[in-house]
Structure formats: C-alpha cells, structure tokens
Copies of this chain bind each other. A is one copy, B any other.
Amino acid sequence: MDRVRVALLGCGVVGSEVARLLLAQADDLAARVGAPLELVGIAVRRPDRPRPGIDPALLTDDAEGLVARADVVVEVVGGIEPARSLMHAAFRHGAGVVTANKVLLAEHGPELFEAASAADVDLYYEAAVAGAIPLIRPLRESLAGDRVTRFLGIVNGTTNYVLDQMDTTGAGFGDAVERAQALGYAEADPTADVEGYDAASKAAILASLAFHTRVPGEAVHREGITGVSAADVAAAARMGCVVKLLAIGSREPEGPDGPAGVTVRVHPAFVPRSHPLAGVRGPFNAVFVEAEAAGELMFYGPGAGGTPTAGAVLGDVVAVARHRVHGGRGPGESAYADLPTLPLSRVLTRYHVRLEVADRPGVLARVADAFAAHGVSIEQVRQQAVGEDEAAELVVVTHVAPDTALSDTVADLAGLDVVLDVTSVMRVEGE
C-alpha cells in the first residue's frame, strides 16, 4: 500500500484542525504509519463557502461518493444522521472509521461495532470522551488484563468551568454560565452540557468499555447542575469540599439486594478538596479509575477544544491507517460480561441535605426521626437561624446508605409540617 486515503466528514472546529494537522505533520504521520496519509476530500454541506487554510478542491457535498474513495473515514460531523449512514457506508466499502461522535456511539454503538466487526475494519473513538485525554485506549487495551471496579470522572469541561467559577468567585449559576459562554466554553444553548446529557453519553461509553457490557445512554441516571446554587457551593466549601459534576460507573457485586451488575450515573456531588478530582480546574477533564490489580489511576487533560480533540482523532487515524498498511485490526467491542444495568437504589452514598425548618423546639427530633425511619444514620447536623423570621436552616450530613433509603427520607422530610423547604440535596463522593 503506497498511501492511505483519508476522507474527512465535517469541517467545523475539529475537522478543520484535523485537515490542518494532516498537512502540517505529514512527514511525521507517514513515518509512524509506514505510508503517507493522503487527504482525498472533505465533505461539507456548503462546499462553496470559503474556509481559510482549506484547499477548495478538497471540498465536496457528495459525502457518499467521498466515503467510497477512502481507506480511513474521519467522522466529525456530530449528531445521528447522516453520520450513522455514512459510517455504515464506510464499513461496506471496507474503510476503517475514526469518530468523535459520543452521542451516536452512546445511542447506536452496538450496531456500529457489529458492522465494523462484520466488515473486519476498525472503529476508533478516542476523541469521543474527554477530548485529548488518552482514555479509551488505556481502558480498552492497557487495562485488558485487569478488572475495573469503578470510575469517577469529570468529563464535561463546560460544567466544570461553571462550577469552578462558582467556587472561586462566589458567582451564581446564571452568571457563571454567561462567563462560560463569553469565553466560548459554553454554547448559546447550554442544555446538553448543564443538564448532563453530554456527560451521560460519555459515561455510557466509558461504562461499556470498563465493564465489557453494553450500557446505552438512556440507562445512565442523569442529573444536571442547573439546581446547584451559590449556597450549595458555599456549603460544600464549609465541609472542605467542592461541587463537581461527576460521571460515575461502578461494578456492584451480587448481594442481598439483587444480582451483580453495574450502576452508571451523572450528577453533581460534593468532592473533598483532598481528592485529586477536586483540583481539576476550569475546562479541564479528569477520570479516576479503580481496578483490582492496578489500584487507583487518574488521567488528566484538556476535555475539549478543536486542536486537542483533533490530536486525539489523528492518533486514531494513525492506528487505523497502520492496520491498513501492516494488517491486523484493533480490539473491537467487548461486551462478553453482559452485566445488567442496575437501578440507583443499589448505590451506597452519602447525602448532604439542607432544609429550611420552623425555628422551634422539637424540630431536630422530628427530622432525625425521618432519617431513622429509613435506617439512615446521621453523621453531622448543623442548625442556624436565618434572617429575622421564624425559620432556621438545618444542614444534615448522613453516613453512607442505599440511595433509595436516602431519597425516601428526603421525600418524607418534604412532607413534614416543620420542614418549610428541602433547599438542596447533594451526594458526597470520592472519600
């Protein structure tokens, strides 16, 4: 094979950087692959639009035709269609695929991995999770001789920037989102990030890999950060914690409450400042992995951005192109463990609950009773008068208990006449 033909689908922030780096690092890439990479075309919706630094002769709106001429197809269009159909077309033509499309993988991963396997070609996706951080390859290959028990990650840079701003400047949620938008860290419509959809897709991909089990995106328990207030961040600080949006996957052993399986969830949590994830600032990402043999590992780096993501895409392009030149294929989907995805009730966690209560004797006993009724043990209670009216704030931190027992307790608390408001409920993780 005297060259490897690369087709690029999409020419946005990531795609244009992939195109630039393919040229800028052509000699390096050729040496690493064993043959030159030739960019044979870039499929875009509007080929007539001028794009600085891109040879107009490469642009085409005939994505299907372009795919048919490629050995490696790089999909950085995003979304479900036409990305999904184009990937299938690539496999039919015997081309390997590199993608950064987390939504597509979280929704249609199994079907795509099966098609790649049937066609005996590669489907690589390092850039789909945590941008530039090598994470997919370590999980898929380096830890192939180990058993991952848990991962705990900050996989969305937008929300991490927002929460970090709230922590360091005392800003409210709305202000912090506006700053993120002004800096280009958040989109005009930040829903996918702040509601945790993006993190949930990534959590599904990581859990599938880590536990050798298919975990669809919709099986991920998801809570966003829109309910996180400046008061929550301040309460976390008083406990020596910081609020982070975490993606957590955990292997649960067989127990009295049910079979072995995995739980996968995305929600904001208090994280102790001594935990390595607490120090992950601004738009950075990091994933903490616990494995039986390896112990605790952490991977840290930029979670997004055109150039970092393009670098991760190119690493995959080199691997897939090498296989075209030298033969072989990377590991495909590994779903042999086939563990059930368990409800959140199987998770053991700690809660930090803030209540607005009537400021009169006996209230604490009533509240404590509600916890006791569900077998939840209280670690810490702090009460303080707020303002001049008859209300007080009560902060309760629990010991670890099943998530259901805690959520049932909170439901009961809301029904108590002495409880004026359940101001916030946050999990505490990473201890």
Contact = CB atoms under 8 A, between A and B. Distances in A.
A328 interface: yes
Contacts of A25: 145, 147
Interface stretch (A305-313, A340-348, A366-374): A305-313
Interface in A281-314: 291-302, 305, 307-308, 310-314
Q: How many copies does the complex hold?
A: 2
Contacts of A334: 31-32
Nearest to A274: B279
Contacts of A29: 145
Contact of A301 (B21, B295, B311, B315): B295
A107 to B, nearest CB: 25
Contacts of A147: 25, 28
Contacts of A92: none
A286 to B, nearest CB: 8
A134 interface: yes
A298 B300 contact: yes
Contacts of A240: none
Interface stretch (A170-178, A319-327, A352-360, A388-396): A319-327
Contacts of A276: 279, 300
A293 B132 contact: yes
A417 interface: no
A301 B293 contact: no
A317 interface: yes
A322 B331 contact: yes
A296 B301 contact: yes
Contact of A294 (B32, B137, B301, B316): B301
Contacts of A145: 21, 25, 29, 311-318
Nearest to A317: B145
A296 B291 contact: no
A310 B293 CA distance: 7
A141 B140 CA distance: 13
Contact of A300 (B31, B297, B302, B327): B297
Contacts of A79: none
A198 to B, nearest CB: 20
A294 B319 contact: no
A175 to B, nearest CB: 26
Interface in A132-171: 132-134, 137-138, 141-147
Interface residues of A, number: 58
A221 interface: no
A302 B294 contact: yes
A398 to B, nearest CB: 29
Interface in A105-155: 126, 132-134, 137-138, 141-147
Contact of A293 (B141, B314, B322, B326): B314
A93 interface: no
Nearest to A139: B134
A302 B295 contact: yes
A142 B133 CA distance: 9
A314 B310 CA distance: 31
A329 interface: yes
Nearest to A297: B301
A308 B322 contact: no
Nearest to A316: B145
A329 B328 contact: yes
Contact of A142 (B294, B298, B315): B315
A31 B299 CA distance: 26
Given A134-B138, A300-B276, A302-B295, A315 B143 contact: yes
Given A28-B212, A31-B334, A294-B312, 13 more contacts: A28-B337, A31-B336, A32-B336, A132-B291, A134-B134, A145-B316, A145-B317, A276-B279, A294-B311, A295-B307, A298-B300, A299-B300, A327-B327
Q: Which 6 residue pairs spanning A and B have beta carbons closest together?
A: A328-B328, A145-B314, A293-B311, A134-B142, A134-B138, A132-B294
14 contacts: A28-B147, A29-B145, A32-B336, A132-B293, A133-B294, A134-B137, A134-B138, A137-B137, A141-B319, A144-B315, A145-B313, A145-B315, A145-B317, A297-B301
